C-alpha cells in the first residue's frame, strides 16, 4: 500500500511536500494577522477576528498552494484567544488538504528543544503542524532531537540559514574558524549540515529538513553554492512586497529552483478578503510559467 501523502498522513514530510507541489503549486501563503492588516480588513485582534482572517487565507490557498505558513507571533500576541484561533486555522487548513508550516522559529537545547518539537509536530500534539521553522544558532547539533521528533511523526523542519534582516548578515557571513566547516561562512555551513541530515533520511525527492533562504539575497554573498542544497526544500520569504520576483526563481536558486517554496504574505493581503484568492491563483500561475522557462 502506498504511503498516505495527505496532510497528517503517514508518508514522510518531504514526500508529502513534493506531492503537494506537484498537484498544486510551489506557493506558500503566509498567514500573518498583523494588527494593521486586521484593522484594514475590518477585523479585531481577538479570537473571532483572528479565526475569520485565518479562514479567509486558508480558503484562498485551498487547491492553489502547496502550503500555508501561519506566523505564530501574531496569534500569540492575543494570548489564549489567539492560540484558539490558530488551532482553528491549522485544523481548517488540514481539512482543506493544505500542508502547514508553523513559523515559530524555535531553537533550544536538550529536552526543551525536543518538547518544542513535540508541541508543534507530534501527530497527537496540540497543534499538529506538518513542519516548523527552527533556529540553528545554538549550534546545529542542538537540533538533533528536534529533527528526530519530526521524522518520527512524518513531519519536517525548516532551518534558518540566510535571512534578509540586515542585522543577521554579520553573523551569517562570518567565517567558521575550526571544525568540519572551517573556512566556510556560518550560513554555508548550515546548508551543508542540512544536506548531510537529508542524506541520512533515505532516498526522497525532497528531504524532511529544509532551509530558509531569503529571496532578496544573493546566495554568493553568503558563500552558499545552490548545488550544495541537495534535496532540501527551500522556504524563500521575500517575494512580493519585499521585492523578490517570481520570474527570477531560476536566477536566484539555479538548479534548485524546483525545490523552492515561494513564500508571500503582505503582497497577497493587500488585496483584502475579497481579492486574495485571485492573487493566490495569479501567483501560482506565475510560478508554473517561471519554472517552465529553460527547464
Name the β-bridge partners of 157: 132, 209
The residues near 284 (Cβ < 8 Å, ≥ 6 apart) are 24, 25, 27, 64, 65
**Which residues participate in catalysis according to the annotation?**
105
Nearest Cα residue to 280 out of 94, 60, 123: 60
Q: Are 234 and 183 in contact (CB under 8 A)?
A: no
In the chain, the N- to C-terminal Cα span, in Å, equals 33
CA–CA separation, 61 and 137 (whole Å)? 32
CA–CA separation, 60 and 274 (whole Å)? 10
Which cell numbers hold the place of 115?
A: 518538547
Q: Which residue has the cell 486574495?
A: 276
Name the phi and psi angles at 41, rounded to 5. Answer: -90, 0
3 state DSSP class of 211: strand
Amino acid at each position: 500500500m502506498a504511503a498516505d501523502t495527505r496532510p497528517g498522513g503517514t508518508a514522510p514530510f518531504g514526500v508529502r511536500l513534493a506531492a503537494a507541489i506537484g498537484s498544486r503549486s510551489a506557493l506558500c501563503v503566509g498567514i500573518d494577522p498583523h494588527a494593521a492588516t486586521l484593522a484594514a480588513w475590518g477585523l479585531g485582534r481577538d479570537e473571532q477576528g483572528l479565526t475569520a482572517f485565518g479562514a479567509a487565507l486558508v480558503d484562498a490557498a485551498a487547491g492553489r498552494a502547496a502550503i500555508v505558513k501561519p506566523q505564530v507571533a501574531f496569534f500569540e500576541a492575543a494570548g489564549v484567544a489567539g492560540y484558539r484561533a490558530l488551532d482553528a486555522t491549522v485544523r481548517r487548513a488540514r481539512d482543506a488538504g493544505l500542508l502547514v508550516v508553523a513559523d515559530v522559529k524555535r531553537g533550544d537545547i536538550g529536552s526543551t528543544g525536543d518538547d518544542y518539537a513535540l508541541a508543534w509536530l507530534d501527530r497527537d500534539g496540540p497543534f499538529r503542524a506538518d513542519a516548523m521553522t527552527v533556529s540553528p544558532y545554538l549550534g546545529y547539533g542542538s537540533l538533533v532531537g528536534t529533527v528526530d521528533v519530526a521524522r518520527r511523526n512524518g513531519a519536517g523542519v525548516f532551518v534558518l540559514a540566510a535571512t534578509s534582516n540586515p542585522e543577521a548578515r554579520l553573523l551569517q557571513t562570518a567565517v567558521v574558524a575550526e571544525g568540519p566547516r572551517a573556512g566556510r561562512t556560518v550560513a554555508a555551513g548550515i546548508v551543508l549540515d542540512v544536506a548531510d541530515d537529508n542524506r541520512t533520511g533515505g532516498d526522497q525527492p525532497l528531504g524532511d529538513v529544509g532551509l530558509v533562504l531569503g529571496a532578496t539575497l544573493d546566495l554568493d554573498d553568503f558563500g552558499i553554492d545552490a548545488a550544495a542544497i541537495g534535496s532540501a526544500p527551500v522556504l524563500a520569504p521575500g517575494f512580493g512586497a519585499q521585492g523578490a520576483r517570481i520570474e527570477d526563481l531560476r536566477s536566484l536558486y539555479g538548479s534548485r529552483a524546483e525545490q523552492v517554496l515561494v513564500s508571500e504574505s503582505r503582497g497577497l493581503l493587500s488585496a483584502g478578503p475579497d481579492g486574495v484568492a485571485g492573487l493566490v491563483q495569479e501567483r501560482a500561475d506565475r510560478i508554473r510559467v517561471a519554472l517552465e522557462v529553460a527547464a
